[in-house]
Structure 1
């Protein structure tokens, strides 16, 4: 566990590590294409025209192109029903030319997102959103981690954060971030406490954390005096104005390691998505040493 050596935390550069991961994914995608004659393919599904979702999908497709991963985009009208969405995802699940499926969420208040997620074939769930993926991840079996939690774990490994026996506190309980990252930390022998915005005396708990994951979706929710001196702090929040869930200015004087927003967790999420897409394609195509 890193120790505090000055009054300012060392920043965890997710952008630099993500670039390395994308370069590695690109090399593997090229090798896979040479070996099998097929390039990895990620299908993105978007319901409606929410501006933020449109931007996210465009960014993911651009990153795919740079990494030598084919991108197939399915844009569905806002009026699409849950049944229609499930049918579309089912077709992609059955298509041997598609190796990974990403349903951009939120899909709309009228859509049963859980039912739509469960229509994704487990072998193609590169975003790690299905029950199958969560169970496999929790039991340490082959499967795909939710991309943001998976990216967080890679970032912790890159900075040599030893999790064994450490107290990890997760502030947040979403199905794609808070809950899965806690299971991944538990699988690495950390002692995990889940908290959320309604936890009584939250600050008393976060002050005990050796590793603190902020994933509550509230700007500057965690302040410096909520942080144990020398703790590793992962800010997985992203709020309007490029603001995370941690108050950066006060946290940087308490933590030993701290992720900035932007440039910390965000780039790792997309890099993990691309890495897992190449993983999925390699398995489905029966490639060796890719």
Structure 2
């Protein structure tokens, strides 16, 4: 059975369990549920993690902003065209330290997803990110980026407004911006749309997040001309957090509770909070020149591996 089928079965059994009173049948059903949960989540495939990264109940960037920062003040617009709601950007306090937050944002409802274009950014979103990053550099505020997108919006109107150039300017700017940058891959990290906000001194991923040049469906469609082989593609692509951590692309994995972070977001926030605080303390003690050299070498090393 697939992960989705198993999750559906677990929910059905748990719903039935509520109707039972303590006794032999209750204990047997409890054991069956525990065994099914263990079988489902102990040996997750790459495709299973893709499914978890796309889980409809999975927390979004707005949940992390609310849980990690206080007095967050959102800023809008790129001062060229408009405001892209697929990017939430602004200033907040992290342990009383002023920081700039730039997050790719998916919605929690259908209408919110439509408003946020399902997290697929337009050029004005990337230009908003650039504006906020340069502002952060001016005032020496550390930057935290949250990546959660299937990719940049591929529509013709986005191309007409300079999508490729906007992404390229993000890569160029973040590569030598003179303030510490930490990137957090929350769920999906797809293509150049994700890479635009991933040039950082440190990259960490949630355990069930994925990060790749394109989606498994796109990979299967291009390479094998068969989108139905997406599960096979996910294994070949080495897109899980563990794959990328072992390759040295990702610096830290934030462990998730069984079934995904939606089951205990506070635990995930606590681990991520500690990691961010420790790393920012280290980065702020580094000389600016050394920090930029290490960032450059980090991505040169990634280039050699590809």
Q: TM-score, normalised by structure 2?
A: 0.33
| Greater helix share, structure number | 2
Larger radius of gyration: 2
- RCO higher in structure (CA 8 A, sep ≥6): 1
